């Protein structure tokens, strides 16, 4: 099954003479990765996929302790000795491999599906918004929020209120709700890309 999204290690990085990631044990020993771990880091995942590989942000935490995990070589202290033999570890759970035990994929929901789903929610949520009445019935008022489908106002010198229809207001309201939900998701994706670029 083809995956969408991004991998921790790009194809260009994977083909480099020196592999960009190593594995750090809880004792602080550093080892090269085996083929299974490399394939795991080169597999494509969405940022919020629970099966996505977790990587270390620093070689040591703020208390000076070394936690185990995948670590970019650029984070290793100067003079660190890297053991050429991959570390012997327990097999990764099936979900970490991106496959369930029955062989089905555990990949995260594709971004385009999330956006389409949020579009449907935005359309449904905009229906009650288009019926909200605001303002004074005797003065400037309208129906629909944040964009009114109809405005009423009293022109200078006129006794009766004049209506100003806005047929595009329902579409504007859908767009507002869609952006409120979609922008944080896209911004998070951008931050993850920038963080990975900074690490490499």
Q: What is the DSSP string of 77-105?
A: PTTPPEESSPP--PPPPGGGGTB-TTS-B
Convert the pLDDT of each residue in 92-106 to its tens digit. 544 444 443 333 333
All structural domains of the chain with their residue ranges: 6-108, 112-185
Rounded to two decimals, the pTM is 0.47
C-alpha to C-alpha distance for 160 and 138, rounded to whole angstroms: 9
CA distance 187 to 66: 31
Least confident of 17-26, 28-37, 62-71, 183-192: 183-192
Is the separation of the CB atoms in 76 and 59 below 8 Å?
A: yes
Residue indicated by tokens 């960009």: 20
Q: Which residue has the higher pLDDT, 58 or 93?
A: 58
- The pLDDT score that the predictor gives to residue 30 is 92
């Amino acid at each position: 099954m083809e995956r969408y999204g991004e991998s921790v290690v790009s194809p260009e990085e994977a083909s480099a003479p020196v592999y960009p990631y190593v594995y750090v044990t809880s004792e602080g020993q550093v080892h090269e990765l085996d083929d299974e771990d490399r394939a795991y880091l080169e597999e494509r995942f969405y940022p919020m996929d629970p099966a996505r590989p977790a990587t270390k942000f620093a070689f040591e935490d703020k208390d000076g302790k070394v936690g185990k995990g995948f670590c970019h070589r650029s984070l290793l202290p100067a003079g660190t000795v890297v053991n050429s033999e991959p570390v012997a570890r327990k097999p990764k759970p099936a979900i970490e491999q991106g496959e369930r035990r029955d062989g089905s994929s555990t990949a995260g929901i594709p971004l385009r599906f999330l956006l389409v789903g949020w579009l449907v929610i935005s359309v449904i949520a905009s229906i009650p918004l288009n019926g909200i009445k605001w303002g004074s019935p005797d003065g400037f008022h309208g129906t629909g929020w944040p964009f009114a489908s109809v405005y009423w106002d009293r022109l200078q010198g006129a006794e009766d209120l004049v209506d100003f229809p806005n047929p595009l207001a329902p579409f504007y309201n859908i767009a507002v709700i869609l952006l409120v939900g979609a922008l944080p998701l896209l911004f998070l994706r951008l931050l993850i890309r920038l963080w990975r670029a900074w690490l490499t």
